[in-house]
């Protein structure tokens, strides 16, 4: 129940934003929900019809409406919303125009509305709407305004659609002309408060709230629409009275869980708002982290370390011109970008206060009708930042990253950065079927959940089975395009290995020197020598400037066999490279012979056999490749 109490406290921090759309995000007031309106009806203060229109795509059709406990959770039966609703509830002439007897629906609606309009919490707009709907002319007025269409028999049918929805199922919202502003009922803050006061007076049942430990007004049915507006899945539900949801331990569902009305409303509304504003929603899961006690942007650990910092005041990504900074700085764009990013993160960390707290929450939606909290942690903001910085400083590798939210321009930059948890899951378990890696959403969801403690809790290592799985994927380069294999698998698995390797003063920069006698690393280096030797031999270009040969190298073709039987496969690759060695110039031949001789001498004393290689051969391959490229670049310069 700690997460409920924390979310309720978060709602109190941002209570001034309730009902106010800000940057496209909406924090709902208590006792309110949303629906998609298709019709907008305008009346005056005396309840007289003025005008009506169909809402077009450009109109703001998501409308805030007052709801009761029953109406918010309705799926069948009669449960009217208190103000704005479907035609069958608010139109007194619905039966007359459709032939479908819905008198009980209208009676339930007008009875609740009249009770509110006659109470001491009534709003003038509510009285005007009550006066109008009591005339039972709503569908008649909409037909006269050409908003609804009747068939040849004078009946309202669903053959005519509004936003793809049959006419009889259309939702209606109201505008009331008069001295009160705003005129739109779904934007009136005072009306929100008036309904909440009215509804709270109606709730009499009180029980112990498990979240706060206080006796509060009790809520039996909890809100839905957590992940999106049409989502019916709930976090708290106990409507299975005949099954085994709680039986065997408790005699009633209230004994299993009991949450106060205010607490539940605040918590669910705050969670919905946080997910919309700054949450990760993908693969049937939602992950969100937020500052509990004040309004401050939190670094989003669900993304790679570049996009995780979007929105920080210290760094404006949208105005960062990669080409311009490259020429202005006079050195590597990725290095310059990383320096600026590091300054932004340090500037953000400096703003953290001693009493700041951050919460991290992950939700899972394994099936329709259910949501579950699969991960929750609350910690000091400094502890959170220490964990994030530890993750970003050690689980990183040089790779190409797409900068998000840059409009139509797809900006990419190559720099040393941390992959996202989803990147890691795809590297370990993904398959390339189209342009990018793909995997089953359930598998991705479960893997990302396993990685969360590695990011948010300093010292938790990446599970070894994921590293092994990613290493196995990297050992099959022919199953992927060169870019996907190199950028999304090889570089990611090297970052994973680095995270578990760098401890007790060990640094990946010294990996080759620290592992001079490790046969796994030595075989990885040897594979890099063979691969790059053949690639250099194929660099010869024709008179048009095109490479004469462009095909997969022997090292790539035999890669999987090499990782399983390195000694035997190395001899096969070496034999296949004899013809290519002749295409190299003297300097290239000398360099490759020196590298190969050094590695083979070390391997002769350290296991030149067919024992399968560990994952350490991959960073050995990568680092040896980078060392060779730099050696030839210096020569060419």
Give CA–CA dist 550/482, Å, rounded. Answer: 12
Q: Omega of the bond prior to 182 within 30 degrees of 0, cis?
A: yes
Q: What is the DSSP letter of 229?
A: T
297 pLDDT more than 50: yes
In residues, how long is the chain? 637
562 pLDDT more than 70: yes
Contact 266, 212 (CB under 8 A): no
593 pLDDT more than 90: yes
pLDDT digits (tens, 9 = 90+) for 446-501: 999 999 999 999 989 999 999 999 999 999 999 999 999 999 999 999 999 999 99
Tell me what pLDDT residue 447 has: 96
Q: Which of 99-103, 201-205, 383-387, 489-493 has the lowest mean pLDDT?
A: 201-205
Which position has the token pair 């309730």? 18
Q: What is the DSSP letter of 401?
A: E
Q: Which two tokens stand for residue 360?
A: 């991290």
Give CA–CA dist 382/36, Å, rounded. Answer: 42
Give CA–CA dist 277/542, Å, rounded. Answer: 54
Contact 373, 361 (CB under 8 A): yes
Q: What is the DSSP letter of 487?
A: I
pLDDT digits (tens, 9 = 90+) for 376-394: 999 999 999 999 999 999 9
Q: What is the mean pLDDT of residues 267-287?
A: 92
Give CA–CA dist 382/388, Å, rounded. Answer: 10
Angle of CA points 182, 183, 184, to nearest 5°: 95
Number of neighbours of residue 7 by Cβ within 10 angstroms:
25
Tell me what pLDDT residue 412 has: 81
Give CA–CA dist 444/469, Å, rounded. Answer: 13
Q: What is the mean pLDDT of residues 305-333?
A: 62
330 pLDDT more than 50: no
Give CA–CA dist 349/382, Å, rounded. Answer: 8
Contact 219, 69 (CB under 8 A): yes
Coil, helix or strand at residue 395: coil
Give CA–CA dist 66/173, Å, rounded. Answer: 11
Mean pLDDT of the chain: 88
Tell me what pLDDT residue 208 has: 87
CA distances from 624 to 527, 594, 608 (A): 9, 13, 18
Tell me what pLDDT residue 328 has: 44
Q: Domain boundaries in the chain?
A: 31-202, 286-506, 510-636
Per-position b or e across 573-590, b if 16+ CB within 10 A of its CB: bbebbeebeebbeeebee
Give CA–CA dist 26/29, Å, rounded. Answer: 9
Which position has the token pair 């010869």? 540
- The order of strands in the sheet holding 285-291 is 280-282, 285-291, 357-367, 370-380
- The order of strands in the sheet holding 259-260 is 206-208, 215-219, 259-260
Residues 6+ apart with CB under 8 A from 277: 23, 25
How far is Cα of residue 76 from the mean position of the Cα atoms in its chain?
A: 32
Parallel, antiparallel, or unpaired for β 25-26 and 21-22? antiparallel
Parallel, antiparallel, or unpaired for β 357-367 and 370-380? antiparallel
Helix (H) or strand (E) holding 332: none
Q: Omega of the bond prior to 59 within 30 degrees of 0, cis?
A: no
Q: Which two tokens stand for residue 270?
A: 């705050």
Q: What is the pTM of this model?
A: 0.88
Tell me what pLDDT residue 413 has: 84
Q: Residue 327 — very low, low, confident or very high, per pLDDT cuts 50/70/90?
A: very low
Give CA–CA dist 172/41, Å, rounded. Answer: 7
């Amino acid at each position: 129940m700690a997460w409920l109490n924390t979310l309720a406290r978060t709602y109190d921090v941002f209570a001034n934003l309730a009902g106010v759309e800000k940057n496209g995000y909406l924090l709902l007031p208590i006792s309110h929900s949303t629906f998609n309106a298709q019709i907008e009806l305008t009346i005056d203060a005396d309840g007289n019809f003025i005008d009506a229109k169909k809402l077009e795509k450009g109109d703001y059709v998501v409308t805030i409406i007052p709801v009761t406990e029953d109406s918010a959770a309705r799926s069948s039966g009669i449960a009217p919303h208190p103000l704005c609703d479907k035609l069958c509830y608010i139109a007194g002439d619905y039966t007359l125009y459709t032939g479908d007897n819905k008198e009980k629906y209208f009676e339930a609606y007008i009875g609740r509305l009249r009770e509110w309009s006659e109470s001491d919490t009534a709003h003038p707009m509510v009285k005007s709407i009550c006066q109008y709907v009591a005339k039972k002319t709503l569908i008649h007025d909409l037909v006269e305004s050409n908003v609804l269409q009747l068939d040849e028999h004078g009946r309202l049918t669903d053959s005519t659609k509004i936003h793809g929805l049959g006419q009889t199922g259309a939702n209606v919202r109201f505008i009331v002309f008069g001295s009160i502003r705003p005129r739109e009922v779904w934007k009136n803050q005072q009306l929100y408060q008036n309904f909440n006061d009215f509804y709270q007076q109606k709730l009499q049942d009180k029980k112990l709230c498990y979240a706060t430990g206080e006796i509060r007004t009790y809520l039996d049915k909890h809100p839905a629409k957590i992940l999106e507006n049409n989502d019916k899945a709930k976090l708290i539900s106990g409507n299975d009275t005949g099954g085994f949801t709680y039986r065997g331990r408790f005699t009633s569902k209230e004994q299993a869980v009991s949450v106060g009305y205010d607490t539940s409303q605040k918590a669910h509304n705050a969670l919905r708002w946080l997910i919309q504003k700054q949450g990760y929603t993908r693969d049937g899961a939602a992950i969100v982290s937020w500052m509990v006690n004040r309004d401050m942007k939190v670094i989003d650990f669900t993304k790679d370390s570049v996009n995780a910092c979007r929105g920080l005041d210290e760094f404006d990504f949208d105005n960062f011109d990669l080409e311009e900074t490259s020429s202005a700085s006079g050195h590597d764009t990725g290095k310059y970008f990383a320096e600026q990013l590091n300054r932004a993160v340090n500037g953000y960390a400096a703003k953290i206060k001693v009493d700041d707290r951050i919460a991290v929450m992950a939700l899972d939606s394994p099936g329709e009708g259910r949501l579950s909290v699969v991960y929750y942690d609350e910690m000091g903001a400094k502890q959170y930042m220490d964990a994030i910085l530890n993750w970003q400083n050690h689980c990183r590798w040089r790779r190409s990253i797409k900068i998000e939210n840059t409009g139509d321009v797809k900006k990419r930059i190559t720099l040393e950065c941390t992959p996202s948890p989803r990147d890691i899951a795809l590297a370990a378990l993904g398959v390339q079927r189209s342009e990018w890696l793909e995997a089953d959403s359930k598998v991705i969801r479960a893997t990302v959940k396993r990685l969360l403690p590695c990011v948010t809790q300093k010292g938790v290592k990446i599970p070894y089975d994921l590293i092994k799985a990613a290493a196995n994927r990297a050992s099959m380069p022919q199953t992927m395009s060169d870019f996907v294999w190199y950028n999304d698998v090889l570089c990611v698995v090297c970052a994973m290995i680095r995270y578990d390797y760098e401890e007790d003063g060990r640094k990946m920069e010294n990996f080759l020197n620290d592992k001079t006698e490790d046969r796994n690393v030595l075989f990885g280096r040897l594979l890099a020598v063979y691969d790059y030797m053949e690639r250099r031999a194929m660099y010869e270009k024709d008179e048009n400037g095109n490479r004469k040969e462009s095909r997969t190298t022997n090292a790539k073709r035999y890669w999987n066999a090499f990782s399983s039987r390195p000694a035997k496969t190395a001899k096969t690759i070496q034999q296949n490279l004899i013809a290519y060695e002749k295409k190299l110039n003297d300097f290239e031949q000398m360099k490759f012979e020196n590298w190969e001789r050094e590695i083979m001498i070390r391997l002769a004393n350290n296991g030149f056999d067919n024992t399968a290689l560990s994952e350490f051969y991959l960073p050995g391959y990568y680092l040896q490749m980078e060392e060779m490229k730099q050696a030839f670049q210096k020569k060419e310069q």
